[in-house]
Amino acid sequence: MGRQPLPPWDLATLLRDVPGRKTFGQPLASLTSIRIGGPADALVRVETLAALRCLHAVAHEHAIPLFVLGGGSNLLIRDGGIRGIVVRLHGTFRTYDIAPSAAGSAADEADVHVGVGYPLSRLALQLGRQGWSGLEFAYGIPGTLGGAMVMNAGTHLGDMRQVLVSARMLLRTGHVQELPASAVGLRYRSSSYPAGAVLLGAALRLQRGEPGHSEAMMQESYGRRQRTQPLSQPNTGSVFKNPPGTSAGHLIESRDLKGMRVGGAMISPIHANFIVNVGQATAADVATLMARVQESVQRAYHIALEPEVHVVGEEG
């Protein structure tokens, strides 16, 4: 199915009084880690909560879909692009501050209040160098805090469940609410935030540590990723979730699928659970390759591989 005709929205007019930089019909490929993605009807860069609320109200009033685009990792945007408004959160959404722990513990523990637009790996490194421990697992993970909160991002060192205290969000009603971590359903590479909520930020609880030790852990973890993952090539990250008791990469490699190619998309020879863009790949190329992998693994092992990558937008 191709890209649908434009609905009766005059986005340039509707968004005229919304603060922020706006572009229309801009391809999103350059904003994704795999360098694939069709155009957004409107792309709006938002700097403040007040501006986001204004944009949110316009979208709600006119029934315009709103999609928040973070770092663009773990994401495949189809070739037809995204209908409605795509939002990028900058400004106050890319800041953090450190406060004494709300749990009332001693000075060896703190709550870090972070905006969802903050790059996750940079946050881990900066806090580690300041002597705060707990986010070492996040170093080298691409994307922003918001994406990590949605995906419960993690590595062999841990995941967001270890540090998330609460999540702050803008609800469909336009109200801001803060929910405890226990209410957002974090589990393996998934979560259960309220439908339609736009994440604003989080409180993360960290412990006082040794900067040298934290940085050594992060560098060791990232070195391992560099050796075992195709980080130098455009990719989405892990394509499929690991089934219970095994890994998706092992299953795919056992089917001798490394190096399989459809158009400009290829299963990485370095790690079988990565699809890389080796030149002008389309989302359709990636989707076809994913389907072939799923079919091969299902036929051989009767295991249905579940995508970890989020696929959004319309077919070209």
In the chain, where the domains are located: 11-92, 95-228, 248-312
Render the chain in DSSP notation, one character per residue. Answer: --PPPP-S--HHHHTTTS-SEEEEEEE-GGGSTTS---EEEEEEEE-SHHHHHHHHHHHHHTT--EEE--S--SEEE-TTBEEEEEEEE-GGGG-EEEEE-TT---TTEEEEEEETTSBHHHHHHHHHHTTEES-GGGTT--SBHHHHHHHT-EETTEEGGGTEEEEEEE-TTS-EEEEEGGGTT-BTTB--PPTT-EEEEEEEEEEE--HHHHHHHHHHHHHHHHHHS-TTS-B-S--BPPPTTS-HHHHHHHTT-TT-EETTEEE-SS-TT-EEE-SS--HHHHHHHHHHHHHHHHHHH---PPB-SEEESB--
Question: Average pLDDT in the 271-287 region?
Answer: 98
Architecture of domain 248-312: Alpha-Beta Complex (3.90)
Per-residue confidence band for 7, with pLDDT thresholds at 50, 70 and 90:
low
- For 16-53, what is each residue's pLDDT tens digit? 999 999 999 999 999 999 999 999 999 999 999 999 99
Confirm whether 189 is a catalytic residue.
yes
Instruction: Find where tokens 């930020």 sit.
Output: 201
Taking 50 as the threshold, does the pLDDT of residue 1 lie above it? no
Catalytic residue among 189, 205, 221, 255: 189
Mean of per-residue pLDDT scores for the chain: 94
Confirm whether 53 is a catalytic residue.
no
- Whole-structure pTM value: 0.93
Catalytic residue among 133, 221, 238, 268: 238
CATH 3.30.43.10 for domain 11-92: yes
- For 201-240, what is each residue's pLDDT tens digit? 999 999 999 889 999 999 999 999 999 999 999 999 999 9
Whole-number percent of the chain with pLDDT over 70: 97
Confirm whether 296 is a catalytic residue.
no
Architecture of domain 95-228: 2-Layer Sandwich (3.30)
